[in-house]
C-alpha cells in the first residue's frame, strides 16, 4: 500500500511516531512523508529538525518528503494514497482540519486525500485536547473516513487537559480503518 504519513510539530512524540513509520516499512508499505513547516524548521531539546528529516529519509529509503502546499495538493486527484496517517497530529492541525482549513502541507494533504473517500488516521498529541480542542475531537469523530488512534491522559495531575495517542496502536488502527472500522476503546487508562 502507498501510505501518506503526515507529521506535525509535537516534538516530544516524533520519536514514537518514527518507530511506527519503521513498523509500516517492515510490513512492506511504501511511505510518502508530509511534514508541517513548523516541524521542518524548528530545532528543540527533543531533536534537531535536520536529524528528523535524515531519519525519515533513512526509514523510507527515499528523499520524496512533501514540504509545501503545492506538493501536497495532488495527493487526492493525481496521487491516490491508500490511506493517510497524521502522527503526531498537533492540537493546531486538529483544529484547522475540524474547521476545514488547509494552509500547511499536512492540512492540504488531508483536504486533498479526503476527496477520494479513503481512510484518514489521526494520532493526536495535544495539551489542550480536553479543553480548547475537545470540540474538534468531537467534530472529527463524526466525520466520514476519519479514525483516531486510541489515546490516554498521559499526566492527569500536571497536564490535566492533555491527551496523547498510544502510538503502538497505530498499525492496528490503520488495519481497522482500511476495513471501515474504528479502534475501540478510544480512551485508554
Which positions touch ligand FMN (CB under 6 A)?
8-13, 36, 38-39, 44, 90-93, 104, 125-126
Shortest Cβ 28–ligand FMN spacing (Å): 28
Nearer to ligand FMN, 17 or 93 (CB): 93
How far apart, in whole angstroms, are the C-alpha atoms of residue 102 and residue 108? 5
**Contact residues for 131 (Cβ-Cβ < 8 A; gap 6+):** 161
Q: Which residues contact 59 (CB under 8 A, 6 or more apart)?
A: 18, 21, 22, 25, 31
- Write down the least CB distance from residue 12 to ligand FMN, Å: 5
* CB-nearer residue toward ligand FMN: 154 or 184: 154
Residue that is written with C-alpha cell 479543553 in the block = 131
- Measured at the CA of 39, the angle between CA 33 and CA 43, to 5 degrees, comes to 130
Q: Of 78 and 103, which CB lies nearer to ligand FMN in the complex structure?
A: 103
Q: Residue 83 Cβ, how far from ligand FMN at the closest point, in Å?
A: 20
Q: Please identify, using beta-carbon distances, which residue of 40 and 80 lies nearer to ligand FMN.
A: 40
**CB-CB contact of 126 with 116 (8 Å):** no
In angstroms, what is the minimal distance from the CB of 175 to ligand FMN? 25
Amino acid at each position: 500500500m502507498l501510505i501518506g504519513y503526515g507529521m506535525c510539530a509535537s516534538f516530544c512524540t516524533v520519536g514514537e511516531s518514527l518507530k511506527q513509520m519503521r513498523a509500516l516499512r517492515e510490513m512492506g508499505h511504501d511511505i510518502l512523508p508530509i511534514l508541517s513547516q513548523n516541524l521542518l524548521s524548528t530545532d528543540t531539546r527533543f531533536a534537531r529538525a535536520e536529524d528528523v528529516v535524515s531519519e525519515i529519509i533513512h526509514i523510507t529509503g527515499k528523499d520524496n518528503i512533501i514540504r509545501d502546499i503545492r506538493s501536497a495538493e495532488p495527493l487526492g486527484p493525481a496521487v491516490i494514497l491508500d490511506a493517510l496517517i497524521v502522527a503526531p497530529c498537533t492540537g493546531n492541525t486538529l483544529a484547522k482540519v475540524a474547521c476545514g482549513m488547509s494552509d500547511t502541507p499536512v492540512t492540504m494533504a488531508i483536504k486533498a486525500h479526503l476527496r477520494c473517500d479513503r481512510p484518514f488516521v489521526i494520532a493526536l498529541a495535544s495539551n489542550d485536547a480536553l479543553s480548547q480542542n475537545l470540540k474538534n475531537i468531537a467534530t472529527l469523530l463524526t466525520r466520514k473516513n476519519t479514525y483516531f488512534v486510541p489515546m490516554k491522559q498521559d499526566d492527569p495531575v500536571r497536564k490535566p487537559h492533555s491527551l496523547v495517542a498510544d502510538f503502538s496502536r497505530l498499525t492496528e488502527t490503520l488495519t481497522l480503518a482500511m476495513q471501515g472500522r474504528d479502534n475501540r476503546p478510544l480512551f485508554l487508562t
